[in-house]
Copies of this chain bind each other. A is one copy, B any other.
Amino acid sequence: MAGKKIKPRYYLIAALSLDGYIAKHARHFTGWTSPADKDFLHARLDASDCVIVGNNTYKTARQPLSKRNCLIFTKSVGAVKQASERRLYVNPAKVDVAAMVRQKGYRRIAVLGGTQIFSWFFKKNLLDEIYLTIEPVVFGSGLPLFNADVDTVQKFKLASVRRLNKTGTVLLRYTRNTH
């Protein structure tokens, strides 16, 4: 509706081992998840206006992300650097990211990780939804979803729980508890 401001909606999308790790190590992004998770992820990205991702994560998934509008977080640019039509490097310490997203007219923003990017959005209290795919594997150690030292315990609401396949991939969707 003309003139009506629609608040952008940020949703975190991550796949976790059952012991809560998003990857075993920094170069381990998309390959390990089930076909059902990949189908879900691609459908969710098709319904998104923009993807926000850290530079390390982007490098592990450059090909599938190249057709999406990407804001790539990095400390290696002064403020912003437009690398191609769809690829914008952003230094989140130097730019008002939420204002930039609104100015670009993006309404559905997929936050894809990794840990530092997830933690940044969590600490800024910007996450409206969290989609977690839990795969039936144990990594033993690895990269956590968040690494954000906060005093509080933040509550979310479980919006849905869905089993994605026979091997036991589960999709949990959470929404903000307040606002």
Using a CB–CB distance below 8 Å, which chain A residues touch chain B? Answer: 16-21, 24, 32, 119, 122-123, 130, 132, 134, 136-141, 144-150, 153-158, 161, 163, 167-170, 172, 174, 177
Contact = CB atoms under 8 A, between A and B. Distances in A.
A136 B146 CA distance: 15
Give the copy number.
2
A93 to B, nearest CB: 20
Contacts of A177: 136
13 contacts: A21-B144, A136-B158, A136-B174, A138-B153, A138-B155, A140-B148, A140-B149, A140-B150, A141-B149, A156-B168, A158-B169, A161-B163, A168-B174
B158 A167 contact: yes
Contact of A154 (B32, B138, B158): B138
Contacts of A161: 161, 163, 170
B158 A163 contact: yes
Nearest to A123: B140
